[in-house]
Amino acid sequence: MAKIKHKFGTTYYEKKGRKNKTPIVCLHGGPGGTSKNLRPMLELSDERQVYIYDQIGGGKSSEIEQKLWKIETFVEELDILIKEWGLDEFYLMGGSWGTTLALEYYLRKKNNKIKGLIFQSPMFSAKDWQRDANDLIAKLPKKTKKVISFCHQIGATDSKVYKEAMMEYYSRHVFRNKKKLLERSAKNTNEHGEKVYMHMWGPSEFMATGTLKKYTRVKDLGKISIPTLFICGFYDEARPSTAKKYVAKIKDARLSVIKGASHAILSERPKEMLKVVKKFLD
């Protein structure tokens, strides 16, 4: 990985491929996540340059002050990187929170260098996300539902029973391999990124209590005027039914649902997702 120093600190990134076709810039989830799970995207480097990076405040990039834990920081960081990389045109892809960042960058910067957008498991409305989560929680075992509800009521989201309930939800709708999910959780080395996540989002994927809890950009989706691809997993916490509503608001947009996958599509069904992305880019 290489690094770029800028006004917020240092951003670590990885670039692979040659300038045969329009490059693609990929944004990871979070906030406060890392680009580790985006590495399968580098397989597209046989035809074009692929860029992945750890957003400032998480992963191998610099820690930042709490006052910078906001959308504006990440939009500005991305703009700095695009300029440093010298990209004349590119595709922009985001997963989960990365879709929020990609949309914000597109709307705020009005960058005509972007040739297409890819939104994997989108979060464009915290209210929509919470409603979908509530519907999915309602289908969990009775005991698990009780634990989640009680812990939310008394603020015990750091308890062992809450974390166990989280794993039950995550193993259905975030990453459908419980053994690997538990291994990843145990090996978490991104503690500073977790603080950003907690501040901006909340204690779990299905509980928005942070600065993004009232976030919405649904009314602005109609401003997108370039080809757009939505991708969701069949079991995704970002439900395909909600993504369909977003697709309907964009003139040139389409949705692809990956069978057998939940939220972590690149970890669960990388070949299937890369095939869909490649077809869109071609």
Say yes or no: 75 and 180 in one domain.
no
* pLDDT class of 186 with cuts at 50, 70, 90: low
Question: Average pLDDT of 257-265?
Answer: 97
Report the pLDDT value the prediction gives residue 190, as an integer from 0 to 100.
Answer: 73
Report the pLDDT value the prediction gives residue 95, as an integer from 0 to 100.
Answer: 98
96 belongs to the catalytic site: yes
236 belongs to the catalytic site: yes
263 belongs to the catalytic site: yes
Report the pLDDT value the prediction gives residue 184, as an integer from 0 to 100.
Answer: 73
Say yes or no: 225 and 270 in one domain.
yes
Q: Which of 62, 96, 125, 204 is catalytic?
A: 96
* pLDDT class of 183 with cuts at 50, 70, 90: confident
Report the pLDDT value the prediction gives residue 1, as an integer from 0 to 100.
Answer: 73
Quote the CA–CA distance of 203 and 210 in Å, as a whole number: 9
Say yes or no: 83 and 133 in one domain.
no
Alpha-carbon separation of residue 189 from 34, 66, 123, 171, 262 (angstroms): 10, 19, 25, 20, 24
Whether residue 203 is contained in a domain is answered as no
Say yes or no: 22 and 148 in one domain.
no
Say yes or no: 17 and 123 in one domain.
yes
Q: How many residues are recorded in the chain?
A: 282
Choose the weakest-confidence range: 2-6, 12-16, 124-128, 174-178.
174-178
Say yes or no: 162 and 119 in one domain.
no
Whether residue 104 is contained in a domain is answered as yes
Say yes or no: 171 and 250 in one domain.
no
Say yes or no: 181 and 264 in one domain.
no
Tokens representing 98?
Answer: 């990365």
Say yes or no: 155 and 118 in one domain.
no
Residue 185 has pLDDT above 80, yes or no: no
- DSSP for 204-231, please give it: BTTB--STTTT-B-GGGGGG--S-EEEE
Domain hosting residue 160, numbered range: 129-187
Q: Which of 236, 256, 262, 267 is catalytic?
A: 236
Say yes or no: 46 and 116 in one domain.
yes
With a pLDDT cut of 90, the percent of the chain lying above it is 92
Whether residue 193 is contained in a domain is answered as no
Tell me if 200 sits within 8 A of 101, measured CB to CB.
Answer: no
Structural domain total, the chain: 2
Report the pLDDT value the prediction gives residue 191, as an integer from 0 to 100.
Answer: 83
Whether residue 261 is contained in a domain is answered as yes
* pLDDT class of 100 with cuts at 50, 70, 90: very high
Mean pLDDT of the chain: 95
Say yes or no: 217 and 96 in one domain.
yes
Q: Which of 61, 173, 263, 267 is catalytic?
A: 263
Whether residue 204 is contained in a domain is answered as no
